Amino acid sequence: MEPTSPNIPSINPTPVKRRGGRRLYAIAIGLIVIGAGIVSYPFWPKIQYALSKPESSLPYQTKLINAGQLDKSVSLPSLPVAQDKPIPKDNWLVIPSINVDMPILEGPTQKTLDRGGIWHLPNTSNPLNGGNMVISGHRWQYLPPSNRTLYLLDKVKDGEPVIIYWQGVEYDYRIARHEVVDPSRTDILNNTTEPRLTIFTCTPLFSTKYRLVLYGELIS
């Protein structure tokens, strides 16, 4: 007779439950979500603009609204929101189509921008004197969306209005053209015989490689 082998019982070990496994998984997922949010946050205004363009805003009393109608010499992507708020006492810039609403600051260097506004470049003109008024602002300095940054300046189209309140008087401009130039193009600062508003900021977004320049012509 052949020897019989003893029955060897099969052993199925009971799985050991790891304490905190689900908690660590949840923490990992949370960190991934937070990281993705931080990385994508700077682009949220662009995404929001693409999905739903902001309603144009005219936050102060303006000559561009007459009998509830927008001046036909300018265009806006949607009906403006005209409020009865008095015009600013300080020198001020309003770009209705991108909801820019900020003070115009004076100072010798671009560090002036640290005070939170747009910089009126020294030795350039102003609406009172005619000629070329040049202003510049940060493209990305304050967390967007912010009405004190030029984050969406590339969305301002030719024909749209820009308003300067200067020493208690309103000056309305219409964007005539725009271009991207090299930082060495200092000719954009040159004075002009006709009244002009020149606005520039860095481009592309998050880069100082070029300058995005918008030129406005005075309409009233």
Domain positions in the chain: 18-52, 55-218
Q: Nearest CA to 138 among 181, 100, 175? A: 100
Q: What CATH number does the domain located at 55-218 have?
A: 2.40.260.10
Determine the pLDDT at residue 29: 80
Cβ neighbours for 207, distance < 8 A, ≥ 6 positions apart: none
**To which residue do tokens 């994508």 refer?**
40
Mean pLDDT by 10 residues, the chain (220 residues): 53 57 77 68 63 79 88 88 88 95 96 94 97 94 73 94 97 98 96 97 91 97
Paired with 83 in beta bridges are none
- Expressed in percent and rounded to 5, the helix, strand and coil fractions of the chain are 20, 30, 50
The Cα 212–Cα 203 span in angstroms is 6
Residue 104 Cα distances to 94, 133, 218, angstroms:
10, 11, 18
β-partners of residue 105 are 119
The predicted structure's pLDDT at residue 37: 60
